[in-house]
Amino acid sequence: MGIAMAGMEAVLPENLIPAALVREGDTLAVKGIDASPLSLDLSSYERIYLAGAGKASADMGRAVVRILGDAVSEGYINGVEAGVIELSAGRISLTKAGHPVPDRAGLEGSKRIMDLFRSAAEDDLIIFLLSGGASAMLSSPVNGVKNEDVAELTVFLLRSGASIQEMNCVRRHISAVKGGKLAVMTKATVLTLIISDVIGNQLESIGSGPTAPDPTTWQDAVKVMEKYGLEDEVPDLITRAIGEMNETVKPGDVRLKRVHNVIIADNCTAVKAMERVAEERNCRFRTIHGITGDVDTVAKRLASECVPPGLCLGGGEMTLKVKGKGKGGRCQEFVLRLFSHGYRGIALAMGTDGLDGNSGAAGGIFDTAAMRKAEEMGLAMEVFLKESDSYSLLSEVGTAILTGYTGTNVGDLYLMLPSGRERKI
């Protein structure tokens, strides 16, 4: 667990924001992971607002306030908690918004964020804090579509096995804020600080890109619906809303010239931190970046690729088509699927946000000892996998990983030590 936790801790907002924002007097230097540093003159702005959405947004807000202090006027954030961040002359209101299914609280919080964007003037600065989970937490359907319709669509998409890119393509095209639409609501300068949970860091897919241009079209959204057979499953209002009238903001739109999207951390940030700890422990290891695809397909491949000697480290985000009514998630299913395909040793998979699927666990560990224990208890792995019930098996043998919300989100982390050389990881 030590190596995995090092990866997660490396992407906590309290560690990321001080490295990304460096203030010297009225000069704010902004440093991302894949772009040239940006310099902003804070004295040139009449007011500075904070807004945000996502699992890490509240902690990001606290970290920004510690750096900017009284320069911040007010703000609104949709995240995993309710409350306030006190300012000397105002406050930042925190709304606990639903995830992965949008809810009424998130809708109301989104309206306040939209009002802030609309009211900000040309000489103002909005710092928008974006992280994974914002697709659900920043919910404002286009006219005619109800939040309940979006919630129903989200459930179908989650169970379909669609990738995050496919899911968010559909969600962008039924939203009043996603796909750059939030950014063009304001005349202010917008600085979006992003903790990415999307492998490949496509800006339009991270939180469905509320301040980023969208290269996909409404026709692409229709293709996703057709691919997974959702047109006959979701409310008619959804299918009617996907059209040219609700198209997203496209690359090159002049209204986005005053918008700066800066990624300050991603899955590779966490994986590199795991590599550093492995090196410090003199572990032999290999790294597999960008692990995506169907859980079972990936597990079958890695069961044969991860061979001794040494540790396999990885990061990514797989997709899981839910087949039963059990509790689990892609990480927990992955460690069991490895063993179902003949892998032996130790396997760990966890979501950096602390939540894997519908289980309440962050992920799971499975090893040869846990497999023997399950067999002794009469727990047949194939039965649990058939019902998408990986959490119940891991919970019974005592190897589910329980962290609670971590305050960050960059996708999933994986560690595999093959052939039974059991040691602490």
Radius of gyration of the chain (CA): 22
* Three-state secondary structure call for residue 133: coil
C-beta separation of 155 from 230 below 8 A: no
Q: What is the pLDDT of residue 420?
A: 52
Weakest-pLDDT range from 271-280, 289-298, 378-387, 415-424: 415-424
Residues comprising the chain, all counted = 425
Q: What is the pLDDT of residue 240?
A: 92
Kindly report, residue by residue over 43-73, the tens digit of the pLDDT: 999 999 999 999 999 999 999 999 999 899 9
Structure-model confidence comparison of residues 158 and 287, the more confident one: 287
- Compute the distance between CA of residue 48 and CA of residue 67 in angstroms, rounded to an integer: 13
Kindly report, residue by residue over 302-323, the tens digit of the pLDDT: 999 999 989 999 999 999 999 9
Residue 289 pLDDT exceeds 50: yes
- Compute the distance between CA of residue 42 and CA of residue 172 in angstroms, rounded to an integer: 32
* Three-state secondary structure call for residue 34: coil
Kindly report, residue by residue over 344-354, the tens digit of the pLDDT: 999 999 999 99
- Fold exhibited by the domain 2-266: Rossmann fold (3.40.50)
How far CA 411 is from CA of 72, 164, 318, in Å, comes to 30, 11, 9
Q: Which residues, 6+ apart, have CB-to-CB distance to 192 below 8 Å?
A: 127, 128, 129, 130, 211, 212, 259, 260, 261, 262
Q: What is the pLDDT of residue 115?
A: 98
**What average pLDDT is seen over the chain?**
95
List residues bridging with 72 in a β-sheet. Answer: 48
Residue 331 pLDDT exceeds 90: yes
Q: What is the pLDDT of residue 287?
A: 98
Nearest to 6 by CA among 312, 291, 272, 315: 272
* Three-state secondary structure call for residue 422: coil
What letters, b where the CB count within 10 A reaches 16 and e where it falls short, cover 254-265?
Answer: eebeebbbbbbb
Q: What number does CATH give the domain 284-418?
A: 3.40.1480.10
Domains of the chain by residue range: 2-266, 284-418
Q: Are strands 27-30 and 38-41 parallel, antiparallel or unpaired?
A: antiparallel
Q: What is the pLDDT of residue 251?
A: 97
Nearest to 129 by CA among 211, 74, 187: 211
C-beta separation of 402 from 361 below 8 A: yes
Q: What is the pLDDT of residue 422?
A: 47
Token pair recorded at residue 70? 């009284």
How far CA 177 is from CA of 11, 119, 136, 201, 418, in Å, comes to 26, 15, 12, 19, 46
Confidence grade of residue 424 (pLDDT, cut at 50, 70, 90): low
Alpha helices in 306-402 (DSSP H): 330-340, 368-376, 381-386, 390-397
> Which pTM was predicted?
0.94
Q: What is the pLDDT of residue 263?
A: 98
Q: What is the pLDDT of residue 71?
A: 95
- Compute the distance between CA of residue 247 and CA of residue 163 in angstroms, rounded to an integer: 21
Kindly report, residue by residue over 12-29, the tens digit of the pLDDT: 999 999 999 999 999 999
- Compute the distance between CA of residue 140 and CA of residue 153 in angstroms, rounded to an integer: 14
Interhelix angle 368-376/390-397, nearest 10 degrees: 90
C-beta separation of 374 from 381 below 8 A: yes
- Compute the distance between CA of residue 353 and CA of residue 74 in angstroms, rounded to an integer: 27
